[in-house]
Structure 1
């Protein structure tokens, strides 16, 4: 049976979901700063543990910066779909005339926009704390711009698989970390290759290829996992 009223379009559904997510984020805006503070804490602890040696900090800067961003992203990964599952929004997604994969893609974008994108913006400050040479900063920003959406897409698949489980935080981390390792290797490796005078375009191209493939397949896979969890 068709419901009265105009059928929602993909654009209107995306706009409504983004507006809802931003309103909810504004109500708990204190939580929005947690990934940035956590990444800053990780960088500061590494700097203290290495004794503040400038040469040693420069050598490990790319790995530490990427690791801090990756760990900070894990903080909010468990809440990607859990809040919607608890308040019944996921069931409304399943009944919506809009494709579920599209709604998942919009949610992943909003998650990246509110958690990973601020980390990309503050990465120059984190790089300055680690003593990363300014010449490597463009490569770092490019690797984060390509790698952080890829992390969000891969994390969405695992979050959808565990959305029906209670207290799945540790399990989620254990499942998603093997998927994150190649992104970490290529992201930090691009910056390290640039620091050694090598061409970093190969690692960046691999990150871009992974992002394109994940953007096409991850929403479909996560949508199928959500259907299974709610069946």
Structure 2
């Protein structure tokens, strides 16, 4: 499993889906917002949590179609399907590789981007916490959409349409966690719900993704 994880990390970087692409997209989103809503610090500070989380969500979408596509094209996915390693474990490793390449860099860079939107200083720790809890769920849910569209050419748009509705609950509670944290309110409820969503996705979604892959390989 370790070898599979290292292989996926190398493939993600070589295929152009590394952390640089996600960070560049995240930066573009954050930079364009002041041009659209105006440079007023009060307005930007009020919408900063939502904009930062939406930007991170969209940045995670950029490389989802590559999770299984490269293995499908060169036949490696067929070999993995017949290997003694369960397909559910393969899916989990690919989700972890996607998070390490995309979700983790976005989380670490989010405080810097928060400065551009005048995010309340009290909200920085909660922004990082929300992304640490939310981005693993985004990667795991992304494997399900990637598994459904693995045999479709140019299925990136369809993948986005399938995955975005699944991201909504995570986005809602992550934004609520950052908002409450910045206001000094109790953050226990949204944090627990967000953690529950991530744990449920990690426990259940790999089975659905593995089933979708087996169906596409028949």
Q: TM-score under structure 2 normalisation?
A: 0.96
Q: Which residue of 2 aligns with 1:182?
A: 169
2:91 to 93, 104, 111: 104
**Structure 1: unaligned runs, 5 residues or longer:** 1-13
Q: Give aligned pairs, total.
A: 218
Q: Which residue of 1 aligns with 2:43?
A: 56
Distance in 1 (CA, whole Å) between partners of 2:67 and 2:12 is 12
- When Rg is computed on C-alpha atoms for both structures, the one with the higher figure is 1
Does residue 1:128 correspond to 2:115, yes or no? yes
**8 Å Cα contact 2:19/2:105 also seen in 1:** no
Does residue 1:158 correspond to 2:148, yes or no? no
1:81 to 46, 62, 68: 68
Q: Which residue of 2 aligns with 1:169?
A: 156
Structure 1 window deviating more from structure 2 (48-57 vs 195-204): it is 195-204
Q: How many Å apart are 1:133 and its aligned residue?
A: 1.5
Distance in 1 (CA, whole Å) between partners of 2:87 and 2:70 is 17
Does residue 1:228 correspond to 2:215, yes or no? yes
Q: Which residue of 2 aligns with 1:210?
A: 197
SS across alignment from 2:186: coil
**Structure 2: unaligned runs, 5 residues or longer:** none
Q: How many Å apart are 1:166 and its aligned residue?
A: 1.3
Does residue 1:36 correspond to 2:5, yes or no? no
Does residue 1:139 correspond to 2:148, yes or no? no
- Evaluate the alpha carbon distance shift between residue 217 and residue 30 of structure 1 in structure 2; reply closer, same or farther with a 3 A threshold: closer
Q: Which residue of 2 aligns with 1:91?
A: 78
Distance in 1 (CA, whole Å) between partners of 2:57 and 2:19 is 16
Q: How many Å apart are 1:26 and its aligned residue?
A: 4.5
Does residue 1:19 correspond to 2:19, yes or no? no
Q: TM-score under structure 1 normalisation?
A: 0.90
2:179 to 177, 188, 192: 192
Q: How many Å apart are 1:25 and its aligned residue?
A: 3.8
Structure 1 window deviating more from structure 2 (218-227 vs 195-204): it is 195-204
Q: How many Å apart are 1:138 and its aligned residue?
A: 1.1
Distance in 1 (CA, whole Å) between partners of 2:79 and 2:17 is 28
SS across alignment from 1:33: helix
